[in-house]
Amino acid sequence: MTSAQEILQQLMTAAGQPGDERPPAELLSHFDSLSDPLAAVGNFDECNRLFNVFWTTLPQIFKPDEGPKLSEESRSRWIETLRWVIRELRQWTPEGDEKHHKLIACLTIVRGCKRGAPAWELFPEDIGRNQPLMAAMEMAIRSSKCNFSARGAGTPPVWEQEAVDALIDADKKEDWIAIYDLWPQFETTIFPNTFLELVVSALARFDFDRLVGATAEIRETAAAMILAQALSIEHRLRVAAASKSEHIRFCFVFASVFRLPKTTRLDETSATILSNLLVGVAVDADRWSKWMRAFNRYPVRHPALQVPLGRALARIENIQQQAYIHALELGTYPSECRDLVTECLTAFRDAAPPDVRRNLWEIGHQRWKAWRRRTITESQSVFV
């Protein structure tokens, strides 16, 4: 059965041929009515209004069993509009589009093409040769910020403001443990910025080095997490491995292994990237200790982390191996947690030479003995 993505591919192929163009007049007229289009596209409600205009400009594309088939007139409209978008993206300059109306219109249409695949996958590779366009996208990422505001018109509850203040403080201190603990309170309250996500995914597709450079100055967890939403796990980990921003490194790994289904594991490429990244983190013993206390207290929270972590443990120093062992929160937990530690240590055993294995086994055994001795002592004291 033909998918919506296959239909779009056919339209894109036709748009690559010479022919008439159709500028999205309704979209461009809508932008003319806005005092600040660039600010508007970062607003959740304004984006909804914008896409309402978009769907009156171009009919939605459905799978054959989901909705009406495109008429010949609608197909022609899509082809001619896509032809306009491709040319504009290839030739765009800030001088020729001072208010960015054309660029925002192009991005809106690109987002409308996203049906079960990365938004930019269908578009020609040579769009990446337009350096003014790539530079503008890089600047959009560099200048991205995330501001917290109260819901509604009233004063925010005390607990909400305290949580915001705590996250801001943790960001300033690069306190990864606090950031890890605090972020779940915020993840569902952050509205994604559709256009920023398109810019991020565009650079991932067309100019990866610019994307890495654009993230270098990111120092806010919320901003980093918004950028992470735009990327596949593999691209997140590639950016994290290359970025000079510690926030990007930590948050992109966090976003890649948190909330995954329990049975999901990283593919081999992503697992290798993450393992190498962890070895790089371990060069700094203090940073590694904080990462372990954040990610490794409860392995059950991060099943997908275990194999890459085990492989990394085979390549790091003794003191970092101790940090791994001592970060684990020991207790009489269900077997699921023990199974995941076993998964990690099995990957370690398969990758480590005998002397490295003996060292980690000894560290683990000593930790277990100390915990067991303390647990028995505490149990006995109950009956004294």
104 & 17 share domain: yes
Q: What is the pLDDT of residue 178?
A: 97
Q: 370 or 181: whose pLDDT is higher?
A: 181
Do 18 and 79 belong together in one domain? yes
Q: Are residues 115 and 136 in the same domain?
A: no
**Distance (Å, rounded) from C-alpha 323 to C-alpha 305?**
16
Same domain, 225 and 191: yes
The helix/strand/coil state of 230 is coil
pLDDT at 58 over 90: no
Establish how many alpha carbons lie within 13 A of residue 128's alpha carbon, considering only the half-sphere containing its beta carbon.
Answer: 17
**Per-residue pLDDT at 268 exceeds 90:** yes
Looking at the predicted structure, is the pLDDT value of residue 65 above 90?
Answer: no
Alpha-carbon distance of 378 to 374, in angstroms, equals 6
Is 11 among the domain residues?
A: yes
Domain co-membership, 22 together with 113: yes
69-104 residues labelled b (16+ CB within 10 A) or e (exposed): ebeeeebbbbbbbbbbbbebbeebeeeebeebbbbb
Residues 333 and 242 in one domain: no
| Tally of domains within the chain | 3
Domain interval for residue 134: 130-144+158-259
Of the candidates 159, 170, 96, the one whose C-alpha atom is nearest the C-alpha of residue 133 is: 96
Answer yes or no: do 135 and 244 share one domain.
yes
- Using the 3D structure, point to which of 259, 291, 311 is the last residue of a domain: 259
Q: What's the chain's average pLDDT?
A: 89
Together in a domain, 47 and 91: yes
pLDDT tens profile 165-210: 999 999 999 999 999 999 999 988 877 788 888 999 999 999 999 9
Q: Which of 63-77, 229-243, 302-316 has the lowest mean pLDDT?
A: 63-77
pLDDT at 8: 87
Average pLDDT over residues 310-325: 96
The reported pLDDT for the residue numbered 246 is: 96
pLDDT value at 337 more than 90: no
CA dist 62 and 331 (Å) reads 52
Domain assignment present for residue 16? The answer is: yes
The reply to whether 151 falls in a domain is no
- The pLDDT value given to residue 2: 55
Secondary structure of residue 237 in the 3-state scheme: helix
pLDDT number for residue 129: 97
pLDDT score, position 166: 95
Residues 134 and 231 in one domain: yes
The model's pLDDT over 116-129, given as tens digits with 9 standing for 90+, comes to: 566 798 899 999 99
Is there a domain that residue 370 lies in?
yes
pLDDT tops 90 at residue 132: yes
Q: Could you tell me if 138 and 247 lie in one domain?
A: yes
pLDDT at 380: 47
Residue 379 domain-assigned (yes or no)? yes
Residue 276 lies in a domain: no
Q: Is residue 153 part of a domain?
A: no
Exposure letters 28-44 (e unless 16+ CB within 10 A, then b): eebbeebeebeebbbee
Look at residue 267 and tell me if it is in a domain: no
Domain shared by 43 and 118, yes or no: yes
Q: What pLDDT is stored for residue 1 in this prediction?
A: 40
User: Per-residue pLDDT tens for 320-336?
Assistant: 999 999 999 887 766 78
Helices (H), 113-157: 131-142
Q: Which residue has the higher pLDDT, 62 or 174?
A: 174
Are residues 139 and 122 both part of a single domain?
no
Structure pTM? 0.88
Q: Which of 259, 294, 313 is the last residue of a domain?
A: 259
**pLDDT on residue 355:** 95
Instruction: Give residue-wise pLDDT tens across range 8-57.
Output: 889 999 999 999 999 999 999 998 888 887 777 777 788 888 888 888 88
